[in-house]
């Protein structure tokens, strides 16, 4: 009962807060609060569901390798491994440009990859994310329906079939209510309200027990002795 009352008070207070647009930066907790109050479906870009930050940006790469300052890095300017250059030059035009380091879902590379995956996914019958010759032949037969030739209109109909009818309005959306989401946000069940270290900042020291409980690991005792990789996240 007390938890319900707390959420009810916060919802009323949050409604008045969210009525006016924020005039200053709002941290991740408040961004998530705004998304819940706005009835968000919690998709990419909503609340704290943002693309990860990285220090390996185009600006950092440009300052190091763009020797002639023309806004592109050629293989001759890049002094790293050739295979790394090939990975960074994602469009394969022989030079690394800002677009090559755009890892967002709206980048040209991401959109092209999405379309390629969409095209091949129905043919991948065993789910190994590859299409064998036999799978491709079967896929071709499905698209052409035995006609022997594949035409653009056949491919369009196969990739973009008619949308299914919308569910009845009375059907539940499957999303938790706003009150449940707010309660989860406040109690830490939706995610921690404390923001993590910023890019380039040192990771906070910690000590954790091993899964078997027989030993413990302290970060500060491992730094400088061997490479350390930290992965923070919830995989439940």
Same domain, 84 and 127: no
Query: Quick check: is 216 in a domain?
Result: no
Query: Quick check: is 219 in a domain?
Result: no
Quote the number of domains for the chain: 3
Query: Quick check: is 201 in a domain?
Result: no
d(CA 171, CA 15): 26
Query: Quick check: is 119 in a domain?
Result: yes
Query: Quick check: is 231 in a domain?
Result: no
Same domain, 112 and 150: yes
Same domain, 89 and 71: yes
Same domain, 112 and 144: yes
Query: Quick check: is 172 in a domain?
Result: no
Model confidence pTM above 0.85: no
Mean pLDDT of the chain: 82
Give the model's pLDDT for residue 16. Answer: 46
Give the model's pLDDT for residue 169. Answer: 63
Query: Quick check: is 83 in a domain?
Result: yes
Residue where one domain finishes, among candidates 136, 159, 182: 159
Same domain, 118 and 149: yes
Which residue is listed with tokens 């790469």? 61
Residue where one domain finishes, among candidates 140, 159, 178: 159
Query: Quick check: is 94 in a domain?
Result: yes
Higher pLDDT among residues 210 and 78, named by residue: 78
How does pLDDT run across 116-157, given as a tens digit for each residue?
888 888 899 998 989 999 999 999 998 888 888 988 998 888
Range of the domain at 74: 58-101
How does pLDDT run across 132-143, given as a tens digit for each residue?
999 999 999 988
SS (H, E, C) the chain: CHHHHHHHHHHHHHHHHHHCCCCCCCCHHHHHHHHHHCCCCCCCCCCCCCCCCCCCCHHHHHHHHCCCCCCCEECCCCCCCHHHHHHHCCCCCCEECHHHHCCCCCCHHHHHHHHHHHHHHHHCCCCCCCCCHHHHHHHHHHHHCCCCCCCHHHHHHHHCCCCCCCCCCCCCCCCCCHHHHHHHHHHCCCCCCCCCCCCCCCCCCCEEECCCCCCEEEHHHHCCCCCCCCCCCCCC
């Amino acid at each position: 009962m007390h938890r319900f009352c707390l959420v009810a008070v916060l919802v009323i207070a949050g409604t008045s807060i969210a009525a006016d647009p924020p005039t200053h930066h709002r941290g991740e907790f408040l961004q998530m609060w705004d998304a819940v109050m706005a009835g968000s479906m919690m998709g990419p870009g909503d609340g704290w569901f943002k693309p990860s930050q990285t220090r390996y940006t185009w600006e950092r790469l440009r300052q190091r390798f763009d020797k002639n300052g023309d806004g592109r890095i050629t293989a001759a300017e890049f002094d790293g491994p050739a295979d790394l250059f090939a990975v960074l030059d994602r469009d394969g035009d022989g030079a690394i440009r800002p677009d090559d380091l755009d890892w967002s879902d709206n980048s040209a590379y991401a959109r092209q990859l999405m379309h390629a995956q969409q095209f091949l996914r129905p043919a991948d019958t065993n789910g190994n994310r590859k299409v064998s010759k036999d799978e491709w032949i079967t896929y071709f037969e499905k698209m052409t329906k035995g006609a022997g030739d594949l035409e653009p209109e056949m491919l369009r109909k196969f990739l973009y079939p008619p949308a299914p009818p919308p569910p009845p309005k009375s059907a539940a959306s499957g999303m938790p209510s706003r009150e449940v989401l707010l309660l989860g946000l406040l109690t830490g069940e939706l995610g921690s309200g404390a923001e993590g270290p910023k890019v380039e900042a040192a990771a906070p020291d910690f000590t954790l027990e091993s899964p078997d409980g027989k030993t413990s690991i302290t970060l500060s005792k491992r730094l400088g002795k061997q490479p350390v990789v930290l992965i923070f996240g919830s995989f439940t």
